[in-house]
Structure 1
């Protein structure tokens, strides 16, 4: 590949540049390889350290959550809290919750709720008032629904401050179970102070600062990427190019942090600062050694090009003056000296060749002149013959195109007729199959209507059963009301019996509500069944009409198929006649084309001869000019 810039340089400059580039590329490759290895090693160390920190954060938070969940479950089993929910002794439960808040400063507050979501006791009076009248909001919270299912959740952890507790908290709630039957009688809420996570990661951040990683940070994110915790200050600048590792809390050990991502990250500029410093020093040394290589290359090129310059000067005089008697004078014993002696031998051969060339050019010029005159006469005769054959070929080509077009159109008509015959036969078969399918479908619709009528009768029977269940629930409600009245009359001894009466009455109310919903659903089903029966009867009538139309369409299609078969026979006869005509015209066109091809080949041969004659004439003139240039 020719380079315009290098083509203008002397050999000395080229050698100097080549040696300098080779040295620079070699040193640059070694330096880049070393820096790349160092960077990969440092990258592995950085990622390994970040991975360890992320896994450590995951384990710490997982253990912390496990301890908090176990603590909340044990607090919910307190006998005083259970008694307060059973016997309305909330003064004692307030004292217990206040004591728990003092002993566990990481929990911002405790709240005790009954089954309906009403706050009945809390660690502080202000906290209890904050939840008064918010039963509906409490029941719709994620932590309350999770507590009803006997599990914990972190869905209530928001990215903003909690309006009740005044800061970010993680609500952990557990069900309070009855000591008698084991049933759920309330919910205990413990609001864990989310800022305590900062104390958990403080040791890891301190270790990173000791490693001179001031931008090191730990984050906790949900699976959807929502940021839950960041060890950096809120006003810290974002990372330009972070290097990070992630540890995911799997579901091996169930806790509220399942699916969270624990991220350890550091800024890439700070992490790779040692490699960047080493690169600066390495490239400085590279520039120094490249300079030494340029000086050495210039000295070497100077010793090589000096004898070559002397040889070039001699050759220049020979070319400019055209005197082949010049002698090459280069006194060197290396490869350049061998080149000079070989050039001197070449000059002797050129002198001998030039003498023979001058004699041969005269003979060649005379022979070329005679050959040119003969070619001109023959070319005129062939040109007239070619013109006549070309006119005949054009006429034959037009006749062939017309015949071929007729053959193609007749073949297309034949194909369309065959296709129409196939489509008509297939359509007749499909109409017959459609008639059979519609008959089967008509029978199935009739059976479906009978099944729907039977289903409506069964729905009436289910309504009677639901009415019986409602009557039983009403009787149970009256019995529970009487039992509650007797419990009140019994005073202190009847409190336990009163609790049982309330439970029975609650169950009776639920049965009455459920029975009412069942009756409503049965009414809707009965109406839907009646509508379906009506639509089925209409569908049967429409299907019968469709069967009659399908039979009439089948008869029309059979008549159309018969007409298409007759047309196909006529089209075949036309196609045979046109094909025979096309075959004859093709033979005529082939003969004319062969004659035209033969004439073209003759013309090309003659033109090639003419061009060769012209080339010989030009070559003879150039040879004569060259022979006159040199003096021998």
Structure 2
């Protein structure tokens, strides 16, 4: 293995270094694995111990609270306390509460309240006076409301010393019920001394200190994280890297501590102190073992390199002096001795080889000279052939480009002819449709002229009828005039008939006027109809002439379409011929290209042969030089 910064070391130094490194790495690996395994085992033990301490604290506090709650309920059922609330015998209840306080030192005090929250009895006069006149505050206390509901509450656990009891207390209150009607008579309060938890956990703290864990602590917290108890002193330094385990108070045993978190923790430095001491001891042993490994490696390297040094002297003399006659003298019988014997045999073989080499170099030099001259002649001939093929390839490339351009142009002509053929066919179809439409339009104009002529005849008939009506009106007018004359002749008897005759004459005049206006309108209509007939006839004639011209244009367009078809066929034939020509030229270009590639490969092979000949000449000269180097 070649390491840059160890390149100047001798074999002895490398063997010493490698053996030391291998030993150190082996010992370090075993030690590291042992430390890792030990740390994992120790970590499991620490967490298991903390979990046991947290679970033990939970069980102790849970059992203590359950016992205290059961005791408060049993004390609330005392007959003397019930009688005191029923019959106002508070002297007896004071004695009972004082006796309970003496028998249970964990309870800081007992207080008996009636239904209105008024203190009626207490275990001491000082406690009674402290609650007097505070009925409203008592009724608003969490423990009092919980007692009225028949349960216990920890919400009133004080974080500081209670001003009444002078200690941190956990109020535990139970209702006092009537033995007859089971009605609530009052509430009994037992102030549990919360500092007693320190006595409960004292043994666990002592066990931790015996293990050397002075930072060990036990904590009690509510579900929202409020600290209720801490076994560590208030002035203790905070832990830098705490290791902790938590036990949660479940609801399998009903008490006020349901949901509380019991935490056991210790500083990681103290917890893993044995591990640190073991690591220091392992480092010391590692240093000792590495020192022993270096000494052993140096002794081993010295024994290995001594015969190699002797062999190196012989080899150096052979290299510097070129003297193959010196013998190898190594007395070692191990692998190095075998190497020396093999080197001696190699020296003998090298003497024989040198003699044979000196004899063969002269013959090899002559053969190499002849081979070089033949290669030079062949290279000149191939160079002329390659030049001619190159010119042929360029010409074929130009012909190929011209053919490709002709193919592209013929393809474009074919596309234009195809488009012209499509346009001619479309124009012919459009012209046929136009002729058909004009025929239909000519027939419709003829029918329109016939209808207009018929309308003119009807107009003339209406004029005749209007003339008849005018004649009748003239006759009515004459009759009305005669009737008026006869009425005048009749005198008084003909006045009424004269009035009728005037009315008929007036109607006849109106009919004559209306007939004249109708006659004028019919004359105008007749003139318009006549003009329309004339214009229709002229339009029909012009349409007939246009139709004839369109027919002539259609014949011309058909002839043009036929010519375009013939041109398109010719263009297709040209495209086919040009494509065939282009394919032939492409084949020619491909053949020339292949020939050029073969010529390039031949030139490369010849150049390789020339280089090999040159190399062989150099090798021959080198062999001659080597052969002259050693003396035999």
TM-score, normalisation: structure 1 = 0.56
Provide closer, same or farther for how the CA distance between residues 623 and 71 of structure 1 changes in structure 2, counting only shifts above 3 A. same
2:291 — aligned with what? 291
Contact 2:154 2:170 in 1 (8 A): yes
Q: Residue 76 of structure 1 aligns with which residue?
A: 76
**What is the Cα deviation at residue 66 of structure 1?**
1.2
**How do residues 355-504 of structure 1 correspond to structure 2 at under 5 angstroms?**
356=360, 359-360=363-364, 362-363=368-369, 365-366=372-373, 368-370=375-377, 372-373=379-380, 376-377=383-384, 380=387
Pairs within 5 Å for 1:458-607: 595=590, 605=601
SS in 2 for 1:191: strand
Q: Are 2:177 and 2:186, in contact at CA under 8 Å, matched by a contact in 1?
A: yes
- Preserved CA contact (<8 Å) 2:310 2:330: no
Describe the shift of the 1:312–1:158 C-alpha distance in structure 2 as closer, same or farther (beyond 3 A): farther
Q: Indicate if the aligned counterparts of 1:109 and 1:122 stay in contact, CA closer than 8 A.
A: no
CA distance in 1 between counterparts of 2:293 and 2:150 reads 79
Q: State the Cα distance separating 1:610 from its structure 2 match.
A: 6.7
For residues 219 and 396 of structure 2, what CA distance do their matches in structure 1 show?
92
Please tell me whether residue 609 in structure 1 is matched to residue 605 in structure 2. yes
Residue number in structure 2 paired with 1:529? none
SS of the equivalent of 2:182 reads coil
What is residue 616 of structure 2 aligned with on the other side?
Answer: 620
Aligned to 1:125: 128
Instruction: Find the counterpart in structure 2 of residue 469 from structure 1.
Output: none
Structure 1 residues 56 and 607, CA gap change in structure 2 (3 angstroms): farther
SS in 2 for 1:53: helix
Tell me, yes or no, if structure 1 residue 344 matches structure 2 residue 340: no
CA contact (8 A) 1:375 1:609 kept: no
* 3-state secondary structure, aligned to 1:630: helix
Distance 1:259 1:183 in 2: 31
- Give distance in 2, aligned partners of 1:220 and 1:315: 85
Q: 1:133 and 1:7, CA in 2 relative to 1: closer, same or farther beyond 3 A?
A: same
Question: Could you say which residue in structure 2 is the equivalent of 1:492?
Answer: none
Q: Cα offset for 1:356?
A: 4.2
C-alpha distance 184-308 of structure 1, shift in aligned 2 (>3 A): same
Match status 1:331 vs 2:330: yes
Shift of 1:69: 0.7
Q: Does 1:67 align with 2:67?
A: yes
CA distance in 2, matches of 1:592, 1:622: 47
Equivalent residue for 2:626?
630
SS at match of 1:205: helix
> What is the CA-CA distance between 1:198 and the residue it aligns to?
0.5
Alpha-carbon distance, 1:308 to partner: 2.0
Q: How many Å apart are 1:64 and its aligned residue?
A: 0.8
1:90-134 deviation per Cα after TM superposition (whole angstroms, max 9, x unaligned): 787667656645554433444556667x45446323531584433
Deviation at 1:76, TM superposition (A): 2.8
Q: Deviations over 1:462-492 (max 9, x none)?
A: xxxxxxxxxxxxxxxxxxxxxxxxxxxxxxx
Question: Residues 203-230 of structure 1: CA distance to partner in whole angstroms, max 9, x if unpaired?
Answer: 2223333444433332223445543322
Whose radius of gyration is greater, 1 or 2? 2
CA contact (8 A) 2:19 2:297 kept: yes
Aligned residues: CA RMSD: 4.7
> Secondary structure of 2:337's partner?
helix
User: What's 1:6 paired with?
Assistant: 6
The aligned length equals 441
Match 1:134 to one of 134, 137, 140: 137
The 8 Å contact of residues 223 and 260 in structure 2, kept in 1 or not, is answered as yes
- 161 and 356 in structure 1: CA distance in 2 versus 1, 3 angstrom threshold: farther
> Cα 1:70–1:295, aligned 2, differ >3 Å: closer, same or farther?
same
Task: Say whether the 8 Å CA contact 1:111–1:190 is kept in structure 2.
Answer: yes
Matched-pair contact (CA < 8 Å) for 1:386–1:599: no
What SS does the aligned partner of 2:218 have?
strand
Distance 2:623 2:273 in 1: 75
Separation in 1, partners of 2:166, 2:300: 83
CA 1:275 to 1:176, structure 2 compared with 1: closer, same or farther past 3 Å? same
Pairing 1:203-282 to 2, within 5 Å after superposition: 203-282=203-282
Secondary structure class of the residue paired with 1:290: helix
Is 2:372–2:610's contact at 8 Å kept on the other side of the alignment?
Answer: no
Partner SS, residue 256 of structure 1? coil
For the 8 Å contact 2:54–2:263, the answer to whether it is kept is yes
Give the superposition deviation at 1:233.
Answer: 0.7
Structure 1 residues 611 and 152: CA distance shift in structure 2, 3 A:
farther
State TM-score, norm by structure 2.
Answer: 0.56
- Structure 1 15/370 Cα, relative in aligned 2: closer, same or farther at 3 Å? farther
Change in 2 beyond 3 A, CA 1:320/1:604: farther
Q: How many angstroms apart in 2 are the aligned matches of 1:106 and 1:94?
A: 19
Q: Quote the residue 1:152 is aligned against.
A: 152
Provide the C-alpha distance between the structure 1 equivalents of 2:188 and 2:91, rounded to a whole number of angstroms.
16
